């Protein structure tokens, strides 16, 4: 699979990366550990060597599963993980309440003080079974900690050889600007999909101008753009997706109409809707890498095949026209 340089760093990552949120089980209605490990191994063996995870995914479980999968293959992979989330104690900025994989009620805090970042790195290194993390990203902005303090911690970790590059997630332009005063931010990981394109207004232009990579997460809008989820779909207990605006009416029906309109383009390339959506996303200006989740080897292979064809400019224009005609209300 083709690789791209990540911003101003010397790190090269695949244009589609294995997104390891779902394999942690949390907020996805559980996951099978053996399937998850095989899914990652399949990714690596077939050229999708960039893996993105986070400490909070499954409260350490996702990182542990990634660690098992990369054992003996670490030199072939690029490991991206995230820090700055706390699910024990109440330091930092309250984020939201949830339940862990055992159903226990927990409060999630955003906390990225210097000492917390350094500790998070040690914990991630241990769970991943590696001595260096390729890209270490703050998961969400933490209003309780000065941005400069968080960035200083990343500078320390780079100097210690524990991380190769540092990045941010979900940072607006003003916070990116502030962070870059202290540390050379390699990337910003933000949500982006056919039906969620607000980063095109300011974040993409800013990142292009300042050589900052963009990692696009939730390109399938948490599975909705596969076309497999229809009205009345039964979700597993603990799955948060039906409570999000995109899964509610009339958004759900409007998005399904969009998918029906672009389906002939997918059929023309002999690919699935999901593969068409992923391919379109990789071709958007400013997007360095698209994160695609998978819970088993078959899903991994389907994601990899999304990089095996090219959309014409005419096809992209047709898709963009249909997207512009699709009404989405995120306030419901």
Domain count, the chain: 1
The pLDDT of residue 324 is 96
Domain that holds residue 104: 3-223+282-308
Residue-averaged pLDDT of the chain: 95
E strands within the chain?
Answer: 3-5, 12-14, 16-19, 50-52, 78-83, 85-86, 93-99, 105-110, 133-138, 163-169, 187-191, 213-217, 289-293
Alpha-carbon dihedral of residues 76, 51, 41, 223, nearest 10 degrees?
A: -150
Residue 23 confidence (pLDDT) above 90: no
Question: Per-residue pLDDT averaged across 287-311, rounded?
Answer: 96
* Residue at 267 is within a domain: no
The pLDDT of residue 226 is 92
- For the stretch 169-185, pLDDT in tens is 999 999 999 999 999 99
* Residue at 249 is within a domain: no
* Residue at 256 is within a domain: no
* Residue at 270 is within a domain: no
pTM of the model: 0.94
Q: Indicate if 322 belongs to the active site.
A: no
- For the stretch 39-79, pLDDT in tens is 999 999 999 999 999 999 999 999 999 999 999 999 999 99
Out of 57, 109, 206, 217, which one is annotated catalytic? 57
CATH of the domain at 167: 3.20.20.100
* Residue at 319 is within a domain: no
The pLDDT of residue 104 is 86
- The angle formed by the CA atoms of residues 168, 134 and 163, to the nearest 5 degrees, is 80
Residue 193 confidence (pLDDT) above 60: yes
Residue 28 confidence (pLDDT) above 60: no
Q: Which of 271, 309, 329, 306 is nearest to 48 (CA)?
A: 306
The pLDDT of residue 4 is 97
The pLDDT of residue 29 is 61
* Residue at 244 is within a domain: no
The pLDDT of residue 239 is 82
* Residue at 242 is within a domain: no
Question: Per-residue pLDDT averaged across 258-265, rounded?
Answer: 98
- For the stretch 103-133, pLDDT in tens is 888 999 999 999 999 999 999 999 999 999 9
3-state secondary structure labels for all residues of 42-55: HHHHCCCCEEECCC
Distance, CA of 253 to CA of 233 (rounded, Å): 13
* Residue at 260 is within a domain: no
């Amino acid at each position: 699979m083709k690789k791209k340089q990540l911003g101003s760093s010397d790190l090269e990552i695949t244009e589609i990366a294995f997104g390891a949120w779902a394999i942690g089980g949390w907020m996805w209605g559980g996951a099978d550990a053996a399937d998850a490990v095989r899914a990652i191994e399949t990714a690596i063996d077939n050229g999708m060597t960039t893996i993105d995870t986070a400490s909070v995914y499954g409260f350490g479980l996702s990182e542990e599963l990634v660690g098992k999968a990369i054992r003996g293959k670490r030199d072939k992979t690029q490991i991206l993980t995230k820090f700055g989330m706390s699910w024990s104690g109440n330091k930092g900025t309250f984020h939201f309440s949830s339940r862990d994989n055992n159903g226990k009620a927990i409060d999630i805090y955003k906390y990225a003080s210097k000492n917390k970042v350094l500790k998070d790195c040690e914990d991630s290194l241990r769970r991943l079974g590696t001595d260096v993390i390729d890209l270490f990203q703050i998961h969400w902005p933490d209003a309780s900690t000065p941005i400069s303090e968080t960035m200083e911690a990343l500078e320390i970790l780079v100097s210690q050889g524990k991380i190769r590059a540092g990045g941010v997630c979900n940072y607006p332009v003003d916070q990116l600007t502030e962070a870059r005063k202290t540390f050379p931010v390699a990337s910003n990981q933000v949500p982006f999909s056919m039906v969620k394109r607000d980063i095109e207004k300011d974040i993409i232009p800013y990142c292009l101008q300042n050589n900052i990579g963009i990692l696009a997460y939730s390109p399938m809008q948490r599975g909705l753009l596969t076309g497999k989820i229809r009205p009345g779909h039964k979700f597993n207990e603990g799955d948060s997706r039906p409570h999000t605006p995109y899964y509610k009416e009339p958004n759900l029906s409007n998005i399904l109409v969009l998918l029906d309109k672009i389906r002939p383009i997918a059929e023309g390339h002999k690919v699935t809707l999901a593969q068409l959506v992923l391919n379109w996303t990789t071709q958007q200006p400013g997007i360095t890498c698209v994160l695609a989740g998978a819970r088993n080897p078959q899903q991994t292979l389907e994601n990899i095949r999304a990089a095996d064809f090219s959309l014409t400019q005419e096809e992209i224009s047709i898709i963009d026209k249909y997207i512009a005609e699709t009404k989405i209300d995120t306030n419901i």
